[in-house]
Amino acid sequence: MRDYIIEFIDAKSVEGGAALNTLRAYRNDIEQFSRFIHPRDIEKASFEDIENYLVKIKTKGYTPKSLSRKISSIREFYKFLQSEKIITENPAGKLMTPKVGKSLPRFLTAQEVKKICATAKSAKNFSSIRMNVMIKLMYSSGLRVSELVALPENAINYELRQILILGKGSKERIVPVTKEVVTDIFEYLEYRQRYIGDRKSNWLFPSISSLSGHITRGGFFKNLKKIAIKAGIPTSKVHPHVLRHSFATRLVNNNADLRSIQKMLGHESITTTEIYTHITAEKLSDEVKKYHPLQQLNKKQNDN
């Protein structure tokens, strides 16, 4: 069983160019299903086995998005087994993926981001100065957290103020970086040199304790939460992806070209980027409800 899963993951990595996080999700989902049907071999599973598994996990509070992903993982796995002639019939072929409604991304205001950055920078230690730069990079350039933590030291062209990013599926893209952030990076590099000392590191944001050699996603998230608490920002509003969403929302609200935003975010499809236009529409709707004279009149009449 485990060999089949490994072969499937290898195929998705080599042939499909799937990202590391996607590969981990595939493996976790399929191994979870395998444990459910044990001692039955995974290649001998039936459609009823899969249905029973889905009924079971639906009771565990998984979101529709998570359920949809698990169904997709199982379907892709059995499609692979069939293509390799390990099985003749695909038990997951008739699986229906539940529709997942698009939720609007949360975002922080410019004032909230400035407050978080000011709090980080005020500590004047390596970890805090590093966080200040990382937060500003996400907010000003729209990087994914996985791209941010693994930035090589030479990824930034300081003269052109551009960053070369290795994104999903090992696809490269170039995004601009602001003059203010470049200034902060130069200040940070002095702290970085003192931090690494005689050691060598190819990473812009090194970590001595991390096996990867750079700060981890979890480490960044943990530090971000701590800074948010000190800044008086509710931690429920703060997440690494929120900074990326805030970048895109700010550009949309300032009438930036949607195709340009798509390129900067590294989205495959423009439809993924278009979700940020809904944020603007929802914001306008809220403004109308709050300030339009007819709304005010209706409110007065209801109060009376």
The two structure tokens encoding residue 191? 């702290």
144 belongs to the catalytic site: yes
Where is 174: in which H helix or E strand?
A: strand 172-176
| Catalytic residue, candidates 144, 192, 239, 245 | 144
Helices 240-253 & 275-291, crossing angle to 10 degrees? 70
How far apart CA 304 and CA 298 sit, in angstroms, is 10
Q: How many CB atoms lie within 10 A of CB 225?
A: 14
Q: What is the pTM of this model?
A: 0.60
| Catalytic residue, candidates 12, 70, 192, 244 | 244
53 belongs to the catalytic site: no
| Catalytic residue, candidates 79, 173, 241, 263 | 241
Q: How much is the pLDDT for 4?
A: 86
Q: How much is the pLDDT for 288?
A: 46
Q: How much is the pLDDT for 98?
A: 61
Question: What parts of the chain have a pLDDT lower than 50?
Answer: 281-282, 284-288, 291-293, 295-297
Q: C-alpha angle with apex 32: 28 to 38, nearest 5 degrees? A: 140
User: Residue 173's beta-bridge partner residues?
Assistant: 165
26 belongs to the catalytic site: no
289 belongs to the catalytic site: no
Domains of the chain: residue spans and CATH: 2-83 (1.10.150.130), 110-283 (1.10.443.10)
> Taking the chain, what is the end-to-end CA distance rounded to the nearest angstrom?
70
| Catalytic residue, candidates 173, 226, 230, 267 | 267
Q: How much is the pLDDT for 278?
A: 59
- Is 269 strand, coil or helix? coil
Q: How much is the pLDDT for 131?
A: 93
Q: How much is the pLDDT for 99?
A: 60
DSSP secondary structure of 63-103 = -HHHHHHHHHHHHHHHHHHHHTTS-SS-TTTTPPPPP-PPP
Q: How much is the pLDDT for 297?
A: 46
Q: How many CA atoms lie within 13 A of 40 on its CB side?
A: 12
Q: How many CB atoms lie within 10 A of CB 67?
A: 17
267 belongs to the catalytic site: yes
For the stretch 162-181, what's the b/e string if a residue is b when 16 or more beta carbons lie within 10 angstroms of its beta carbon?
Answer: ebebbbbeeeeeebebeeeb
Q: How much is the pLDDT for 94?
A: 79
Q: How many CB atoms lie within 10 A of CB 223?
A: 18
Helices 240-253 & 217-231, crossing angle to 10 degrees? 70
214 belongs to the catalytic site: no
| Catalytic residue, candidates 12, 168, 239, 245 | 168
Q: How many CA atoms lie within 13 A of 194 on its CB side?
A: 9
Structure confidence by residue, pLDDT tens digits, 191-245: 999 999 988 899 999 998 888 999 998 899 999 999 999 999 988 888 887 888 8
Helices 110-122 & 126-141, crossing angle to 10 degrees? 160
